[in-house]
Amino acid sequence: MASAGKIGEARLVRSGAGSFALRLSCFMRVLPETNPTDWLGVDIGIVNLAADSEGHRYSGAKVECVRTEHVKTRSRLQKAASEKAKKGQRPKNIKRKLKTRSGKESRFMKDVNHRISKDLVAGAQGTGRGIALEDLQGIRGRNRLGKQTHTRVNRWAFAQLRSFVVYKALLAGVAVVFVDPRNTSRECSECAYTDKRNRKTQAEFRCLACGFTTHADLNAPCVIRKRAAVSRPIVSRPA
Ligand SMILES: [Zn+2]
């Protein structure tokens, strides 16, 4: 990965009533981007926070579990706060607890995202591969994550993982390409036949045209990988 950075300027800024934040800027050495000869397709989602075309899956189960706990605690605290308010008491302590809770939750998620993105970039670095992600710009209107998003992993966590992958790749000199995200879960990674019915269940992918069968989580990253090769053709450099 990148070598240690050099600290630039520091600024103390007010970040709310009675609290300050120290903002440090830091110069990092960015490794020169290597010309990729192949791509590691990465699908970022919810059931799996990430799955790559090598078959590595980063399950969202643990995150989901911690999150459910947080949701329970939060609603218990909120209930306690409103009961206090009804009695005309100020729920100051509870509000403080709620704030601590949400801080804990986002730190946990951030840590998970750091670890996954580090792993993904390490999987591509030094192998001659770049990383291919779905291009989610301009499709904000479409609900990529489905209805479950609100109760499950937050949108910001999903975006954070993507941005961590991108900046860690940049530091490591790993190229990143964004591919068309349409039908990545419906297209066969073997023959490119696209049909909603290829995806039999949440878990099973079976191509109606060529019979290729795999775990649905593993098909999409392979489609992403193939699209990357097309969208950014690999031209061998003259010796
Ligand atoms: Zn097929």
Interval between CA 205 and ligand 1 midpoint (Å): 10
Interval between CA 47 and ligand 1 midpoint (Å): 24
Supply the range of the domain harboring residue 129: 6-231
Number of domains in the chain: 1
Interval between CA 211 and ligand 1 midpoint (Å): 6
Q: Is residue 29 part of a domain?
A: yes
Q: Is residue 126 part of a domain?
A: yes
Rounded mean pLDDT of 74-95?
Answer: 88
Q: Is residue 49 part of a domain?
A: yes
Q: Is residue 236 part of a domain?
A: no
Interval between CA 157 and ligand 1 midpoint (Å): 33
Amino acid of residue 4:
A
Contact 15, 21 (CB under 8 A): yes
User: How much of the chain, in percent, has pLDDT values that exceed 70?
Assistant: 88
Q: Is residue 238 part of a domain?
A: no
Instruction: Check residue 146 and give left, alpha or beta (phi > 0: left; psi -120 to 50: alpha).
Output: left
Interval between CA 192 and ligand 1 midpoint (Å): 6
The 10s digit of each residue's pLDDT in 102-149 is 888 889 999 999 999 999 999 999 999 999 999 887 554 444 555 444
Q: How confident is the model at residue 238 (pLDDT cuts 50, 70, 90)?
A: very low
Residue 150 has pLDDT above 80, yes or no: no
Rounded mean pLDDT of 35-59?
Answer: 91
